[in-house]
Structure 1
């Protein structure tokens, strides 16, 4: 029997978005857009994308990938009710979303000993957003269904009169819980979620991404061993 309710860690963005210093602010950019040089970004602070990367000394961004995110585990793990995450250190994510590939680095180097790197570019993840709020939360399979809107929808309702919503969950940024990918069928989402795969990170459309969901999965046994070599990377967007 599949699990119905999941403990998750929810993530919310800062009200500022930062971009490379060499770029000109375009007319379409709102007041929330600032150059990274105009924003205070503490070493090791959790964030998504952008040109500012805090890495252990001597570590470089993997060739062919972009910096995608980093999580300050000393803060994030406070909201991990299941105790799955390490209590300190950083998880740093790199990805090439065009090929659904990436790499996750786990380091126990203290925040103050990380080295700041600036890599300005106009590729995927060119703009950055700090993670401003983190909290313990829950989600359930019920959230993935909706009421039919017309007669066409009614052809596909389940026994409870509801319809699977391909886009439900896309508005969330989180750790753990139900896998989200609008291009996969209900059975595929259920199969992945109910297997031994864990959502190590999902960045959705709640102020981080305008469109699309970036997700990283890890096998449960690998997370227990702190082995981040076999993570799976997904970008879901219509």
Structure 2
């Protein structure tokens, strides 16, 4: 089969239309109407979200030093859309990161939401605002979708056999689990190498209401995910 036509099953998700920021911050003129203080939004324990000052941790787990809360996934909401069966059926995946040096930590805990302990850590660093995850659904994608017709003569130098060019920014608009790695800084061969390797996209937060310009990704070996071993992963921030 042509690799470009291979279908990748993914779990896509969308952003809530509100964005919340630390209540200790002053409201700035640049903030749009959908920006609210974190004390003005109702967030259930364990509710899936991206960034912000609020994280719900398993009992006895401390907020990691030198990292920022990046995301929290309620797996009971995501696993029904997982055709691969790789994700745990329930529990929490919690991500902390420092995108300036591509480091981080992933915590998996099979803990009921009502047992989680809410921790609030207000700051003005990366991930200081938060966005709730809204809709979750099954989707598919192919490498073929990342090619397009050339727009100008300069593009013609990079034509493939189908007279198309690689779109470096294709895929940036998606937030998902699994599928094709997205990094607008990489050549198509580098993206293909990851896509057909033993790595999986454990998390991608894209530009569909979450990030303005950039994609946050977490990669890990597929076998480690099967074995619930969350010690080996890569954190990547790809500025678009």
TM-score, with length taken from structure 2: 0.97
Once the two structures are TM-superposed, the CA of residue 237 in structure 1 deviates from its matched residue by 0.5
> After the TM superposition, which segments of 4 or more aligned residues of structure 1 sit over 6 Å from their partners?
none
Once the two structures are TM-superposed, the CA of residue 58 in structure 1 deviates from its matched residue by 2.1
Match of 1:118 in 2: 120
Match of 2:219 in 1: 217
Q: What is the alpha-carbon distance in structure 2 between the residues aligned to residue 148 and residue 60 of structure 1? A: 51
- Given the alignment, which residue of 147, 163, 166 partners 2:165? 163
**5+ unaligned residues in a row in structure 1: which ranges?**
none
> Is residue 197 of structure 1 aligned with residue 183 of structure 2?
no
Q: What is the alpha-carbon distance in structure 2 between the residues aligned to residue 42 and residue 66 of structure 1? A: 20
Equivalent residues in 2 for 1:14-163, closer than 5 Å? 14-163=16-165
State the secondary structure of the residue aligned to 2:225.
helix
Once the two structures are TM-superposed, the CA of residue 83 in structure 1 deviates from its matched residue by 1.0
**5+ unaligned residues in a row in structure 2: which ranges?**
none
Equivalent residues in 2 for 1:174-193, closer than 5 Å? 174-193=176-195
Once the two structures are TM-superposed, the CA of residue 57 in structure 1 deviates from its matched residue by 1.7
Once the two structures are TM-superposed, the CA of residue 110 in structure 1 deviates from its matched residue by 0.5
Q: What is the alpha-carbon distance in structure 1 between the residues aligned to residue 117 and residue 65 of structure 2? A: 19
TM-score, with length taken from structure 1: 0.98
Q: Report which stretch shifted further, 40-49 or 184-193.
A: 184-193
Once the two structures are TM-superposed, the CA of residue 216 in structure 1 deviates from its matched residue by 0.3
Q: What is the alpha-carbon distance in structure 1 between the residues aligned to residue 98 and residue 142 of structure 2? A: 30
Equivalent residues in 2 for 1:8-19, closer than 5 Å? 8-19=10-21
How large is the Cα RMSD of the aligned pairs? 0.9
Q: What is the alpha-carbon distance in structure 1 between the residues aligned to residue 45 and residue 79 of structure 2? A: 18
Residues 134-168 of structure 1: CA deviation (Å, up to 9, x unaligned) = 00000111111111001111111100010001110
Once the two structures are TM-superposed, the CA of residue 99 in structure 1 deviates from its matched residue by 0.6
